[in-house]
Chain A
Amino acid sequence: MFLLDVRNLSVDYMTDDGTALHAVDDVSFTLEKGRSLGMVGESGCGKTTAMLGVLRLLPAEGRIVRGDVLFEGTDLFALSENEMRAYRWKHLSLVFQGAMNALNPVRRVGDQIAEAIRLHESGINIKARVRDLLQLVGITPDMARQYPHQYSGGMRQRAMIAMALACSPEVLIADEPTTALDVMVQAQILELLQNLQREFGLSIVLVTHDLGVVAEICDDVLVMYGGKVAEYGTVDVIYNDPQHPYTQRLLQAFPDVDNPAITLTSIAGYPPPLDALPPGCRFEPRCTCASEVCATKSPRLIQIAPGHFVACHKLRSTPYGA
């Protein structure tokens, strides 16, 4: 049994005039204990929406139209709101995008972490727990008494991670945790996440547009495009044997400091807007190897090798086929 098993998740956003925009369409992935999954894609490809859907934290316009999310076999979508609240923080925790700017500026950082503990745990020494958590993320416990403005950006991000770990969750979902941080501070935060993974068997879902970060710390990669899964596999396969044209082009657009002589090439065009998704493959308008069928029929996600899934018409499933 997987720790987290997301099956065929689809999320719509309802507009004022009642149309449904398909933000996430048929996304499936699994996560095992102590492993890390990178969700990559351009802005607007549905990465964040998918994770908010998993946690049932969608904004009011969001609707889960299909799919199951199983956490250790328990169907999260079958839980009542109160039961779900008990799962969040204790089992699945989220560091929001831009979270470091979400700390309350007029309350001490330690008090804000304490509040999270108080709401979810009982019968523990909260003060000691706050000190432990701060230490865990590399902040001197004495700094619990300071206010967010006295923290640097990197420290605020550490404090947010401490808060997310308040109730010792098994899964940490981090949405762009290092975007807007300097590269050295980014390295510090990534090292922290890796240590947490190694020492406590924490499972991590890293939502990011940064292919470099994913290559550094993730075990598996889910490439999303236009709300759908384009390719899914281990980090080695995705980077060294990508099969989906989008994955290939994305890697060609990404700078590699080790190979500065390579000319980078952008992907012409733009990701499809949600209110005008192409009828066939969502990548078809930008794909250089599209054929007729791509414009009319959406490709199914097929398994082309054990654990390697691709949604592209030019590939046929192998004997492992799903």
Chain B
Amino acid sequence: MEHKPGSENIVLQVNHLHKLFPISRGIVGSLARRPKRFVHAVDGVSFCMAKGEILGLVGESGSGKSTAALTILGLLEPTEGEVLFNNQSVPELVHSRQRLQLRRQMQIIFQDPYEALNPRQTVFDTIAEPLEVHRLAASQADKAERVMVALGTAGLKPPETFLERYPQELSGGQRQRLVIAAALVLNPQLLVADEPVSMLDVSIRADILNLLRQLRDEHGITILYITHDLATAAHFTDRLAVMYLGRIVEIGPTATVLHDPQHPYTQALLSVIPVPNPRKRRKRVILKGETPNPIDLPSGCRFHPRCPVVFDQCRHVEPTLASVSPGHQVACLRS
């Protein structure tokens, strides 16, 4: 799954992306000329996505996965590095006349379908609004037609029974489908799904994930799936990228990463995922402590203070992603 930059197939290319947030020093700090400090939310992330691919960006809270997503979408300005969408720079597009077009092609679904919807807008208005903003409907009839198609594709069937309803009349799963329909109506190429099922009951999560996969299969939509949940990512993605403290520590085809994890962090993370089978209780590698804050990053490998197989060199040398097998890259001095 090695993708060559510049190839026709590449939808998204992220190169050495950094996003730093300055920390307020306060008046005393500024007067005393204390050095500026930064939260290194995203600290050198590179990857690319082929058309119609589902990539899982997996990490614990504070790993920078959501910041990475917002920067990729052009909702945050990168501190350093580039984001290319169809070979065009996203930060530049955002400031150009093509901004609206970019927004149409990249859509995001957020975690909380209760917060993402306007409670005073009917289902019809919720989906029609993006069409109006982007002036995509040729006529009222065309608008209605597009809304119905989007509802049907998102699995809200029969669509006409939903049009006049309000979000509070929908269940959690139906709300998330509505959010997806509002993103779909614009025919985006790239869909970023930031924890799209973590607020939903387990019994209906599979439906939403299967719907997203169906969008990929039938409409060729490229999906960046952002989650802390390796188990759903295992079922749903083609490739996995594991993030730790602002950086990708391992990336590769999902099956390879799951069966042959090379980074000690990935190995630990996989070992602690509860498996719904009491006969398969495994030896868990439980890391001590929690992810350190991304302000004062550890020297050398940023994982070394918690690494169960740390050796001397790890404290001084920062590993970079290197190939261990086709398409499988790991940032660890041991591999």
Q: Does B203 contact A (CB under 8 A)?
A: yes
Q: Does A81 contact B (CB under 8 A)?
A: no
Interface flags, B127-145, vs A, CB<8A=1, else 0: 0000000000000000000
Residues A209 and B281 in contact, CB atoms below 8 Å apart: no
Instruction: Select which of A216, A257, A263, A270 is within 8 A of B234 by beta carbon.
Output: A257
Q: How many residues of A contact B (CB 8 A)?
A: 42
Residues A239 and B60 in contact, CB atoms below 8 Å apart: no
Q: Decide: A256 near B286, CB < 8 A? Known: A182-B60, A264-B210.
A: no
8 A Cβ contacts from B200-238 to A:
201-207, 209-210, 228-232, 234-235
8 A Cβ contacts from B253-298 to A:
254-255, 258, 268-270, 272-281, 284, 286-287, 290-291
Chain A residue contacts of B279, Cβ below 8 A: 236, 239-240
8 A Cβ contacts from A180-205 to B:
182-188, 190-191
Residues B284 and A191 in contact, CB atoms below 8 Å apart: yes
Q: Does B61 contact A (CB under 8 A)?
A: yes
**What is the interface of chain B mostly: helix, strand, loop, or mixed?**
helix
Interface flags, A244-258, vs B, CB<8A=1, else 0: 000001110111111
Residues B274 and A212 in contact, CB atoms below 8 Å apart: yes
Residues A256 and B276 in contact, CB atoms below 8 Å apart: yes
B54 CB to closest chain A CB (Å) equals 13
Chain A residue contacts of B272, Cβ below 8 A: 183-184, 186-187
Q: Does A136 contact B (CB under 8 A)?
A: no
Residues A183 and B235 in contact, CB atoms below 8 Å apart: no
Chain B residue contacts of A235, Cβ below 8 A: 278
Q: Which residue of B lies closest to A262 (CB)?
A: B235
Q: Which residue of B lies closest to A209 (CB)?
A: B202
Q: Decide: A253 near B287, CB < 8 A? Known: A186-B272, A216-B274, A262-B235.
A: no
Q: Does B171 contact A (CB under 8 A)?
A: yes
* Chain A CB within 10 Å, residue with most, of B201, B268, B269: B201
Residues A212 and B203 in contact, CB atoms below 8 Å apart: no
Residues A264 and B278 in contact, CB atoms below 8 Å apart: no
Cα of A1 to Cα of B232 in the assembled complex, Å: 42
Chain A residue contacts of B258, Cβ below 8 A: 257, 260
Q: Which residue of A lies closest to B284 (CB)?
A: A187
Q: Does A318 contact B (CB under 8 A)?
A: no
8 A Cβ contacts from A254-295 to B:
254-258, 260, 262-267, 270-271
Chain B residue contacts of A263, Cβ below 8 A: 210, 235
Instruction: Select which of B173, B268, B274, B286 is within 8 A of A215 by beta carbon.
Output: B274
Residues B205 and A216 in contact, CB atoms below 8 Å apart: no
Chain B residue contacts of A186, Cβ below 8 A: 272, 274
Q: Does A21 contact B (CB under 8 A)?
A: no
Residues B280 and A258 in contact, CB atoms below 8 Å apart: yes
Instruction: Select which of A152, A184, A215 is within 8 A of B275 by beta carbon.
Output: A215
Residues B275 and A253 in contact, CB atoms below 8 Å apart: no
B305 CB to closest chain A CB (Å) equals 14
Q: Does A176 contact B (CB under 8 A)?
A: no
Q: Which residue of A lies closest to B60 (CB)?
A: A182
Residues A266 and B286 in contact, CB atoms below 8 Å apart: no
Cα of A191 to Cα of B286 in the assembled complex, Å: 9
Cα of A264 to Cα of B200 in the assembled complex, Å: 15
Instruction: Select which of B171, B230, B284, B291 is within 8 A of A257 by beta carbon.
Output: B230
Residues B275 and A256 in contact, CB atoms below 8 Å apart: yes
Interface flags, B1-45, vs A, CB<8A=1, else 0: 000000000000000000000000000000000000000000000
Instruction: Select which of A190, A191, A267 is within 8 A of B204 by beta carbon.
Output: A267
Q: Decide: A257 near B270, CB < 8 A? Known: A183-B230, A240-B279.
A: yes
Residues B274 and A213 in contact, CB atoms below 8 Å apart: yes
B27 CB to closest chain A CB (Å) equals 22
A240 CB to closest chain B CB (Å) equals 7
Cα of A267 to Cα of B275 in the assembled complex, Å: 20
Cα of A216 to Cα of B60 in the assembled complex, Å: 20
Residues A183 and B278 in contact, CB atoms below 8 Å apart: no
A residues whose Cβ falls under 8 Å from a Cβ of B: 42-43, 152, 154, 182-188, 190-191, 209-213, 215-216, 235-236, 239-240, 249-251, 253-258, 260, 262-267, 270-271
4 additional contacts (CB under 8 A) given A215-B275, A250-B202? A211-B202, A239-B276, A253-B202, A266-B204
Q: What are 7 A-B interface contacts by the 8 Å CB criterion?
A: A184-B272, A211-B276, A213-B274, A216-B278, A253-B204, A257-B270, A264-B206
